[in-house]
């Protein structure tokens, strides 16, 4: 069946690096999204991976391994404003999005 | 531009009452979606519309209905609300010019409490 797994919560220190993992088992694969969602707000787009490898965008990078059903989001030089939930979503073969429950990231000074 | 607007921002509703959540976009995106988000669960698709005049059922459609009379509006109706429909509801749009793998953009959400 369809399944996307992410850690429920992670804690990191301001200025440090954190890696948020996402594993998936879905009906086909047409790409993977990472979204950021601050408390009480709407999700906003961070990254999209469809090919294996690392996509870098400023302080944020996203990695994909299709053979392993695995992705991670890497956040560098953490800032307090990065405290948010990070949602992993996979596009299935029918182009429907399947969402993970999200990882709540807590940044401490 | 406003992007995607949702109304109301929040609502407390008595069980058994009906309600329509409104969603309007000004981006001229073909596809629109309604999700609900509950604590500990991922976003779950209620209904979707790939283009004006068509709608489809998502993962959790029971108790909800939608219509898509034009490109801009995609209202979600609860015919007879039940407490399990207490949730945050997000409307989203997608351009679909990229063959279905385009980014989805989200409205600000409606927080609904059914008592």
Contact, A107 vs B113, CB < 8 A? Answer: no
- Under the banding of pLDDT at 50, 70 and 90, the label for residue B98 is low
The answer on pLDDT for B24 being more than 70 is yes
Alpha helices of A10-103 — where are they, by DSSP H?
none
Q: Can you tell me the distance from the alpha carbon of B47 to that of B58, in angstroms, rounded to the nearest whole number?
A: 5
Q: Is B60 on the interface with A (CB under 8 A)?
A: no
The answer on pLDDT for A2 being more than 80 is no
pLDDT at position A95 is: 79
B10 → chain A, closest CA residue = A40
pLDDT digits (tens, 9 = 90+) for A57-98: 999 999 999 999 999 999 999 999 999 999 999 998 877 889
Provide the number of CB pairs (under 8 Å) joining chain A to chain B.
Answer: 47
Contact, B67 vs B114, CB < 8 A? Answer: no
Q: Is A4 on the interface with B (CB under 8 A)?
A: yes
Contact, B66 vs B33, CB < 8 A? Answer: no
Chain B residues with CB under 8 Å of A104 CB are none
For A73, B34, B89, B96, the CA distances from A95, given in Å and listed in that order, are 22, 15, 21, 10
Q: Can you tell me the distance from the alpha carbon of B41 to that of B64, in angstroms, rounded to the nearest whole number?
A: 19
In the three-class reduction of DSSP (H, G, I as helix; E, B as strand; rest coil), residue B46 is classed as strand
pLDDT at position A94 is: 79
In the three-class reduction of DSSP (H, G, I as helix; E, B as strand; rest coil), residue A80 is classed as helix
Percent of chain B residues topping a pLDDT of 70: 94
**Chain centroid to CA B9: how far?**
13
Q: Can you tell me the distance from the alpha carbon of A44 to that of B80, in angstroms, rounded to the nearest whole number?
A: 31
In the three-class reduction of DSSP (H, G, I as helix; E, B as strand; rest coil), residue B84 is classed as helix
Cα angle vertex B60, ends B6, B19, to 5°? 40
Residue closest to B19 by CA, chosen among B75, B95, B94: B75
Contact, B48 vs B31, CB < 8 A? Answer: yes
The answer on pLDDT for B42 being more than 90 is no
pLDDT at position B102 is: 79
Best to test chain B binding among A26, A99, A102 (most B CBs inside 10 Å)? A99
Chain B residues with CB under 8 Å of A102 CB are 42
In the three-class reduction of DSSP (H, G, I as helix; E, B as strand; rest coil), residue A26 is classed as coil
A88 → chain B, closest CA residue = B42
Contacts of A74 (CB under 8 A, 6+ apart): A17, A18, A19, A20, A60, A61, A62, A63
pLDDT at position A74 is: 98
pLDDT at position B4 is: 97
Q: Other CB atoms closer than 10 Å to residue B112's CB: what's the count?
A: 20
- Under the banding of pLDDT at 50, 70 and 90, the label for residue B96 is confident
Residue A90 tokens read as 């996979």
The answer on pLDDT for B100 being more than 70 is no
The answer on pLDDT for A45 being more than 90 is yes
Phi, then psi, of B92 in degrees rounded to 5: -140, 155
Q: What is the mean pLDDT of residues B75-94?
A: 97
Q: Is A42 on the interface with B (CB under 8 A)?
A: yes
Q: Can you tell me the distance from the alpha carbon of B75 to that of B56, in angstroms, rounded to the nearest whole number?
A: 13
Q: Is A97 on the interface with B (CB under 8 A)?
A: yes
Taking an 8 Å cut-off on Cβ atoms, the answer to whether B101 and A100 are in contact is no
């Amino acid at each position: 069946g369809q399944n996307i797994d992410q850690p429920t919560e992670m804690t990191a220190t301001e200025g440090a690096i954190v890696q948020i993992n996402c594993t998936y088992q879905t009906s086909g694969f047409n790409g993977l999204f990472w979204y950021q969602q601050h408390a009480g707000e709407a999700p906003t787009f961070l990254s999209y991976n469809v090919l294996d490898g690392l996509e870098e965008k400023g302080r944020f990078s996203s990695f994909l391994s299709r053979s392993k059903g695995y992705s991670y989001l890497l956040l560098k030089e953490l800032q307090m404003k990065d405290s948010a939930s990070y949602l992993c979503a996979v596009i299935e073969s029918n182009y429907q999005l399947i969402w993970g429950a999200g990882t709540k990231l807590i940044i401490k000074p | 531009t406003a992007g995607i607007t949702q109304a109301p921002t929040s609502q407390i509703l008595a069980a058994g009452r009906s309600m329509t959540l409104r969603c309007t976009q000004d981006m001229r995106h073909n596809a629109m979606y309604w999700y609900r988000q509950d604590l500990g669960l991922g976003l779950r698709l209620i209904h979707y519309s790939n283009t004006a005049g068509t709608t489809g059922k998502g993962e959790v459609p029971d108790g909800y209905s939608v219509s898509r009379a034009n490109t801009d509006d995609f209202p979600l109706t609860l015919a007879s609300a039940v407490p399990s429909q207490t949730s945050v509801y997000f409307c989203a749009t997608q351009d679909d010019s990229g063959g279905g793998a385009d980014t989805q953009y989200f409205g600000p959400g409606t927080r609904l409490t059914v008592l």
